[in-house]
């Protein structure tokens, strides 16, 4: 059952371009948080779980993505109050809220200035914005190299946390931009000013014509979460932004499914797909990043495996029952494709496994009828095993003694779950968490919308 080692190479050749070599202690980790799906929260206490959990893992501040909806003000107030109570920090992606929250105890200050980021266009008049805010700002927007005026800002956020074709789609032959390429472009444009480097685990979205914001594509994700953290440790940027805490629609959430939220129509690919293992995996990486070291071993508290995989092989044909097969009028948006999400060929039919170990061990993966064995070193290592339909079983052993072993709560299957193409990932850990993370009723209120087949709710751990 043993097969050759397939250790994933860390990106050891990645150049270190630290703009702040002495900056340990100044480094901060942000996590992008969508207020737009939290309209159902009734009080600031409903933010406490998110604040406490993020803080426990070393996240310093939530970057609040807010719109101009009727509930925005109320939810922003709840979030700030909860953050203050839980010793977390917040900044907003809107310059409009600066005045209101500048002196709030939860407002993130950097170098003594109110920190604000933005998705505002590269053409924004920074001077006018700053004078309207009436504050000395640390303004770090999502400007783009070659477009925005980098001389007018204090730092910048790069949003492109996924390899792409340079035009918001998966890479293709001859058009293949890595996340590290983006780092280089930003560091050059920033010319020594602080950089907010993006890190994300996944990207898959599959909104059909049942909603007005139809979009259907993936970015290659596979071992991105592991590889990108390795790059971050080498790069040592002043700031890191995890994308995201709770954007379920694009499948890059690392926060709980149970975190209170409404359903934007994404529950059909989010239900039964917890991502908490990714947050657990980030903890030693975050600690190492803040310490300015590339050695994560010292920061591993508990040995574990974190593994993930899509629920089906990519060639499975769901055309007869998928939600995106009609609605060609939605093609106008440029984001909508029928059938398998655009870019699906860039995702591998593999089970991805990371081992967080204090000393070397043997890791065995049994994916359906496919078996693979790895000799994992101390520290964090990443592996790929071939995907097999059926049960997913894992074990860690040393000198013929089992350290821990167990089965995933989710099988890989050869039918279309809920009838759709689901390119989201199921993330599990071993030892398994004490409770099963599940969507709450409001988070799956639109589960049936557009579906062509029955879709049983919350099946993980069900008899």
Looking at the DSSP assignment, which residues form a beta bridge with residue 349? none
Give the footprint of ligand NAG on residues 168-227 (CB under 6 A): 171-173, 176, 178
- Greatest Cα pair distance, the chain, in angstroms, is 68
| Shortest reach from residue 176's CB to ligand NAG, in Å | 4
Complex with ligand NAG: residue 176 or 449, whichever CB lies closer: 176
Complex with ligand NAG: residue 171 or 194, whichever CB lies closer: 171
Complex with ligand NAG: residue 35 or 223, whichever CB lies closer: 223
Complex with ligand NAG: residue 99 or 172, whichever CB lies closer: 172
For residue 108, give the nearest of 129, 137, 134, 133 by alpha carbon: 137
Complex with ligand NAG: residue 22 or 315, whichever CB lies closer: 315
- The rounded distance, in Å, linking the Cα atoms of 94 and 117 is 7
Q: Contacts for 401-409 with beta carbons within 8 Å, 24 or more apart?
A: 403/303, 403/361, 404/303, 404/430, 404/431, 405/430, 406/430, 406/431, 406/432, 408/307, 409/436, 409/460, 409/461
How far is C-alpha 167 from the chain's CA centre? 20
| Shortest reach from residue 183's CB to ligand NAG, in Å | 14
| Shortest reach from residue 367's CB to ligand NAG, in Å | 22
| Shortest reach from residue 433's CB to ligand NAG, in Å | 32
| Per-residue binding letters, 133-172, with ligand NAG (x by CB under 6 A) | --------------------------------------xx
| Shortest reach from residue 382's CB to ligand NAG, in Å | 15
Complex with ligand NAG: residue 165 or 411, whichever CB lies closer: 165
Complex with ligand NAG: residue 232 or 286, whichever CB lies closer: 232
| Per-residue binding letters, 343-382, with ligand NAG (x by CB under 6 A) | ---x------------------------------------
- The rounded distance, in Å, linking the Cα atoms of 403 and 389 is 26
How far is C-alpha 44 from the chain's CA centre? 24
Q: Which residue is nearest to ligand NAG (CB)?
A: 176
SS3 195: strand
- The rounded distance, in Å, linking the Cα atoms of 117 and 95 is 8
DSSP H/E element including 198: strand 195-199
Q: Which residues bind ligand NAG (CB under 6 A)?
A: 171-173, 176, 178, 346
């Amino acid at each position: 059952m043993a097969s050759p080692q397939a250790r994933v190479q860390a990106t050891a050749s990645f150049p270190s371009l630290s703009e702040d070599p002495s900056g340990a202690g100044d480094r901060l980790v942000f996590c992008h948080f969508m207020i737009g799906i939290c309209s159902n929260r009734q009080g600031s206490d409903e933010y406490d779980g998110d604040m406490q959990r993020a803080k426990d893992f070393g996240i310093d501040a939530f970057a609040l993505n807010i719109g101009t909806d009727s509930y925005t003000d109320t939810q922003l107030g709840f979030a700030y109050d909860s953050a203050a109570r839980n010793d977390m920090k917040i900044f907003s992606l809107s310059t409009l809220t600066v005045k209101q929250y500048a002196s709030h105890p939860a407002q993130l200050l950097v170098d003594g200035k109110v920190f604000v980021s933005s998705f505002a266009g590269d053409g924004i008049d920074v001077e006018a914005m700053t004078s309207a805010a009436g504050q000395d700002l640390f303004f770090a927007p999502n400007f783009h190299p070659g477009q925005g005026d980098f001389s007018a800002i204090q730092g910048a956020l790069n949003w492109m946390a996924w390899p792409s074709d340079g035009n918001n789609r998966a890479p293709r032959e001859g058009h293949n931009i890595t996340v590290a390429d983006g780092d280089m472009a930003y560091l050059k444009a920033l010319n020594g000013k602080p950089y907010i480097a993006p890190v994300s685990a996944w990207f898959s979205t599959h909104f059909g014509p049942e909603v007005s914001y139809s979009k259907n594509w993936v970015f290659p994700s596979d071992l991105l979460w592991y590889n990108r953290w390795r790059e971050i440790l080498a790069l040592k940027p002043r700031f890191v932004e995890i994308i995201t805490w709770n954007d379920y629609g694009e499948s890059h959430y690392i926060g709980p499914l149970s975190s209170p939220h409404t359903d934007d129509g994404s529950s059909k690919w989010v239900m039964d797909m917890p991502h908490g293992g990714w947050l657990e995996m980030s903890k030693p990486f975050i600690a190492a990043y803040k310490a300015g070291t590339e050695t994560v071993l010292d920061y591993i508290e508990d040995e574990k495996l974190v593994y993930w995989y899509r629920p089906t092989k990519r060639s499975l044909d769901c055309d007869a029952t998928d939600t995106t097969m009609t609605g060609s009028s939605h093609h106008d948006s440029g984001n909508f494709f029928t059938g398998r999400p655009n870019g699906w060929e860039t995702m591998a039919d593999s089970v991805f496994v990371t081992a967080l170990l204090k000393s070397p061990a043997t890791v065995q993966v049994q994916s359906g009828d496919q078996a693979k064995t790895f000799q994992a070193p101390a520290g964090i290592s990443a592996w790929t095993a071939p995907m097999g339909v059926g049960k997913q079983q894992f074990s860690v052993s040393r000198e013929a003694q089992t350290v821990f072993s167990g089965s995933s709560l989710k099988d890989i299957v050869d039918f279309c779950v809920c009838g759709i193409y689901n390119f989201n990932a199921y993330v599990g850990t071993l030892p398994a968490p004490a409770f099963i993370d599940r969507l709450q009723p409001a988070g799956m209120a639109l589960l049936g919308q557009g579906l062509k087949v029955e879709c049983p709710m919350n099946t993980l751990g069900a008899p």
